[in-house]
Amino acid sequence: MFFGSIPALVTPFAGGRVAEDTFAEFVEWQIAEGSNGLVPCGTTGEVATLNADEHREVIAHAVRAANGRVPVIAGCGTYDTATSIERIRAAADVGADAALVVVPYYNKPSQAGLVAHFTAIAEASPLPIVVYNVPSRTVADISVESLNEVGKHPRIVAVKDATGNLARVSAQRIACGEDFCQLSGNDDMALGFNAMGGVGCISVSANVAPRLCSDFQKAMREGRWDQALKLQDRLYPLHAALFTDASPAPTKYALSRIKDNFPTELRLPLVEASQSSKRAVDAALEHAGLI
């Protein structure tokens, strides 16, 4: 269902508001450069700072700009089951193709709670669900066994795995079946992730290097592993540099370096990238041949 390079889109802001024209142009560029899907309103999109109306509108902008050419997987998860369902329904209303639902954060549910949460969402959702497991941000970590249980529901079709544990790919492949879609949530591990059974990456780096990330994923799909390794070496410093400060500050800075007038504005509590982070980004962009 989903595969390849799928950017977790930044949300451009100007004067405190979503920069709608910039966002539409950004989506068009992403598709022209070969991205295989789009994720608006994820962590990289500063979803935690968007109100409900903005959340709906950002997804709507992405859907209109994509115009059916690639799937739009809308970030809809919260730490509250009922609110998550509301956001999924709103995303469906504006035409999203699927919902990315993060493991609930802050309230630290048990495995039984996680199973109940995702099951309730799947029962109420009009959209396919991609489970987003990122324990470094959520503390809670959905286990292989729990993912297997919820993955039996026909509307839970994929996982974005940002555990940083490559062994999970094999464990989840055995537990959930070869047809259960596994997407990496870590750019730097995407090569190993796909070698072990993954089919793509919901990517931060693809914001900045969509063509390179698309070519990298395509090389792996076609079994051109030597070429994929070369692209991994070319992209790796960028993967690292984009997390030298709180994301997405380095990513927005990188975009301002390669695209004229791309806004670097963030919403508090995030602030612009530090000087040391900017230097790392500049070096990585040069290494990748992007500047």
Q: Which of the residues 79, 105, 108, 160 is marked catalytic?
A: 160
Instruction: Choose among 192, 235, 185, 191: nearest CA to 212.
Output: 235
Q: Cβ distance 229 to 194 under 8 Å?
A: no
Q: Which of the residues 79, 105, 132, 278 is marked catalytic?
A: 132
User: Is the backbone of residue 223 left (phi > 0), alpha (psi -120 to 50) or beta?
Assistant: left
Q: Is 253 a catalytic residue?
A: no
Q: Cβ distance 114 to 79 under 8 Å?
A: no
Instruction: Choose among 185, 193, 12: nearest CA to 100.
Output: 185
Q: Are strands 17-18 and 13-14 parallel, antiparallel or unpaired?
A: antiparallel
Q: Measure the CA–CA gap between 12 and 18, rounded to whole angstroms.
A: 6
Give the position of tokens 């059916």.
68
Handedness of CA 204, 98, 143, 201 (dihedral sign): negative
Handedness of CA 80, 85, 91, 94 (dihedral sign): negative
Q: Is 160 a catalytic residue?
A: yes
The catalytic site residues sit at: 132, 160
